[in-house]
Structure 1
Amino acid sequence: MTGHTAAASGRRATPMTLVLLVAMNGLAPISLYMLVPMLPQLATMFGRDISVAQMTVSFYMVGLALSQLVMGPLSDRFGRRPVLVGCFTLVVVANIGCAFAQTLPQLIAGRFLQALGGAAGMVISRAIIRDIYDRSRVAGMISLVIAVMMIAQMLSPLAGGVLDAWFGWRAIFIVLAIVTTLFVVALFAALPETRRFELPSADSGFLRDVRALSASRAFMGYVLCQMLASSIIFTFAGGGPYLVINHMGRSATEYGAWFATAGFAYMLGNLASVRLSPRHGLDRMIWLGLTIQLTGSLLNAGWGLIGWNSQPAWLFGTHMIVMFGNAFAMSNASAGAISVRPQAAGTASGAMGFLQMGFGALCSQLGAYLGGHFLTPLPLNIAILALSSACAAAIVCLVPRRNAFVSTDAMIEAEEQDAAVI
């Protein structure tokens, strides 16, 4: 099963396939962040508390979590392409519903459906990368797709703010509906099926895949590392708008510009990972990323203690360090998780995405509470430091230390042999 990937690489990895990978991975996060600068405005407009407005984000992430748990195994069973087409058709319908929502609960429901469909792109893009590239290139290609996608994602809050200023917040969903429709057409026209269908064997099946993955210490360590690292992004995104707009007195457009600096640092981290991962291996890259991430988190908490980060420049300056290291940790942990059992790449990717988004939804609500109910960024800084520390602890406690000295391929082969007895 593992050998077919290398043979497939280069045969199906066309430039158009890479463009579609970027788009399918990015549409859901872009849709999430475009609305973020408008959350304080939506709370006021609909006469609700900020925690209720935040549910347009937290329920979105719940939808992402639940969908990925299902869409990954479905793509393993029925193929990547049909699942993607069906799910992004749902996204088009959900965007239209959001554009015409008359109450905040209606908008929250529309966002939930939007996420249910959009999550397929996130989980299946990782599975497609594992289908068409060999192990040594998976982390680099995940980083490349994320880096290119981040160019659009880091500008999405700014774009959302501009659309709101010119046409109102409903224009965001009209634009998203048009873009997603064009993407569905491109899927029909240009995306090949990358999943290799084979006769069932004694080593295949959803339940067997789940048992084998859950029995792997390396898989659990990588998944927890990726989940906790991504929760830093959700926590900061949840609290950032309230700190910058409500407490620092800046506009939604200015917040979007500051938020783009964090996305820029994350993009640079992924571009660096593209070059360094094949040379240094997954685990060394993860440790380098965790070291940078912890350094930035400590600096951010330090500025908070002495009161320096009451201005956006200090708050986002150190957060850029966090995000640069975060990119190393997330992309390489993702590659490690989906490479433990390649024939179950969709299932592994879905489980990882479910935990990432489910925990991220909780962290987003926590971030909104810390940003909306405290006059200083310090509580948010402490939460991010705690998450950075927990991320490192997951690798220390669960991923065998020999991985730092043994090649990634050798480690994964050992994991597969262990899983084969399950």
Structure 2
Amino acid sequence: MGRTPVGYFCEYNMMTNNQNMTLNRITLMFPLALVLFEFSVYIGNDLIQPAMLAITEQFGVSATWAPSSMSFYLLGGASVAWLLGPLSDRLGRKKVLLAGVAFFTICCLLILLTHNIEQFLALRFLQGIGLTVISAVGYAAIQETFAERDAIKVMALMANISLLAPLLGPVLGAFLIDYVSWHWGFVAIALVSFLSWFGLNKFMPAHQESRAKQPFSYMFDDFKKVFTDRQFLGFTLALPLVSMPLMLWIALSPIILVDELKLSSVQYGLAQFPVFFGLIAGNIVLIKIIDRFELGKTILMGLPIMFLGTLFLIAGVIWNAYLVPCLLIGMTLISFGEGISFSVMYRFALMSSEVSKGTVAASVSMLLMMSFFVIIELVRVLYTHFHIWAFALVSFALIAIWFSTPRQVLLQHMQVRQQQGLN
């Protein structure tokens, strides 16, 4: 006989007192509530980025400011990770997460009052703190709540749901440009974020706390331990190498497709579908095969696919008549490879240090977001001189670098896990 709803809720209450939960329809309510906030944060970029050409025109500045909306968003995500992660270790994940969701919601409404590009980017910076709330607090809670392979499955499932943001964002952004004002986009984002707050308040376990409370002076010792750990650096620095080509595409594709190649806003939105369906397909494949292979094998499968994708990007720039098909094929291969790789890489990075997981997650977030900010701004400048060549060659270089030290760190870690019987 199946369990009654009351039985499920009793099971849920008992599990919140344990380190790891098992997956069922009740324990999944917490990640689903978190992914609703993750969706609002991601669509906070994907919905607005297509509208940036109209926003820069409204503020009377050059279209080359458009990628800065995304880079300042990411810089905001990196700015307070050093604080939010350790703070959640001491106060508990739930309190910090709920406060972060409320802050993001308020900032989405405040941006409606901006009158110039400087004010707009300042609010984008503050909104970006929502990225840290997810990565340094929310993801740490997921990894602590669920067992290893279940946590990876949950992360992949969350990724697929949150990918509705880049799928819907360009189309909705085009609608905003053509029919209403970009301001309504932020109103809708604030509403979704507000709804997620109630779900997290109800379903998130309240016990998430990684260590005994200590003075904040210990925080700097913890960060020192993390940043001097070679294995942590090997895994964490691999994350932006793998995820950066897709981030560059999101930041630059409005300029590439609309401003340079003269596609319409609707055509731009439709061009994103194969790219993000590739990422969804990759996450689905990961969920299906994760239990069949030793952990880490999907990374070794995904990176050669991504490298092939970067070759298509270069081929499109060389043979300009095939530029758009090569861009879409290349980015679809890149996103598929990222889908079967990234969740496992993130798990390895977060678990590579014995320091409290809030501090480790904050360290991952800082390195990831700062890498995004620096590289996007660098490529933005390079793009003014070298155009699509800058995007294609930087994407190629990033994936190629992974096959050096990061790949060796992964192989060594997989060998150690095999010797310990963990796979």
The TM-score normalised by the length of structure 2 is 0.87
- Give 2:176's aligned residue: 163
Task: Identify if the C-alpha distance between structure 1 residues 409 and 308 changes in structure 2 by more than 3 Å, giving closer, same or farther.
Answer: farther
The two structures, once aligned, show a CA RMSD in angstroms of 2.7
Moved more, 40-49 or 337-346: 337-346
Task: Identify if the C-alpha distance between structure 1 residues 279 and 385 changes in structure 2 by more than 3 Å, giving closer, same or farther.
Answer: same
Shift of 1:192: 2.3
Moved more, 155-164 or 338-347: 338-347
Contact 2:100/2:133 (CA < 8 Å) preserved in 1?
Answer: yes
- Secondary structure in 2 matching 1:280: coil
Shift of 1:264: 1.4
Contact 1:28/1:119 (CA < 8 Å) preserved in 2?
Answer: no
Matched, 1:410 2:423: no
Moved more, 18-27 or 100-109: 18-27
Query: Which of 334, 339, 348 matches 2:346?
Result: 334
Query: Which of 160, 167, 171 matches 1:154?
Result: 167
Query: In structure 2, what residue type is equivalent to 1:245?
Result: V
- Give 2:399's aligned residue: 388
Query: In structure 2, what residue type is equivalent to 1:111?
Result: R
- Give 1:417's aligned residue: none
Task: Identify if the C-alpha distance between structure 1 residues 393 and 328 changes in structure 2 by more than 3 Å, giving closer, same or farther.
Answer: farther
Give per-residue Cα distances to partners, 1:31-82, cap 9 Å, x unaligned: 1111111222222222212333432221111001113332222111111111
Shift of 1:391: 2.4
- Give 1:324's aligned residue: 336
Contact 1:164/1:172 (CA < 8 Å) preserved in 2?
Answer: no
Moved more, 329-338 or 112-121: 112-121
Aligned pairs for 1:17-416 (under 5 A) are 17-196=30-209, 199=212, 206-311=219-324, 313-341=325-353, 344-371=356-383, 373-374=385-386, 377-397=388-408, 399=409, 401-407=411-417, 410=420
Contact 1:213/1:348 (CA < 8 Å) preserved in 2?
Answer: yes
Shift of 1:171: 1.0
Structure 2 residue ranges without an equivalent (≥5) = 1-16
Contact 1:5/1:134 (CA < 8 Å) preserved in 2?
Answer: no
Contact 1:224/1:391 (CA < 8 Å) preserved in 2?
Answer: no
Moved more, 232-241 or 55-64: 232-241
Contact 1:299/1:318 (CA < 8 Å) preserved in 2?
Answer: yes
Shift of 1:409: 9.1
Whole-angstrom CA distance in 2 between matches of 1:147 and 1:322: 16
Query: In structure 2, what residue type is equivalent to 1:153?
Result: P
Contact 2:257/2:263 (CA < 8 Å) preserved in 1?
Answer: yes
Contact 2:37/2:192 (CA < 8 Å) preserved in 1?
Answer: no
Contact 2:90/2:213 (CA < 8 Å) preserved in 1?
Answer: no
Whole-angstrom CA distance in 2 between matches of 1:292 and 1:5: 39
Task: Identify if the C-alpha distance between structure 1 residues 373 and 55 changes in structure 2 by more than 3 Å, giving closer, same or farther.
Answer: same
The TM-score normalised by the length of structure 1 is 0.87
Whole-angstrom CA distance in 2 between matches of 1:127 and 1:347: 9
Contact 2:226/2:355 (CA < 8 Å) preserved in 1?
Answer: no
Give per-residue Cα distances to partners, 1:324-344, cap 9 Å, x unaligned: 112223211101011224662
Moved more, 240-249 or 181-190: 181-190
Task: Identify if the C-alpha distance between structure 1 residues 374 and 73 changes in structure 2 by more than 3 Å, giving closer, same or farther.
Answer: same
Task: Identify if the C-alpha distance between structure 1 residues 196 and 408 changes in structure 2 by more than 3 Å, giving closer, same or farther.
Answer: farther
Structure 1 residue ranges without an equivalent (≥5) = 414-422
Whole-angstrom CA distance in 2 between matches of 1:205 and 1:281: 36
Shift of 1:308: 4.1
Task: Identify if the C-alpha distance between structure 1 residues 247 and 156 changes in structure 2 by more than 3 Å, giving closer, same or farther.
Answer: same
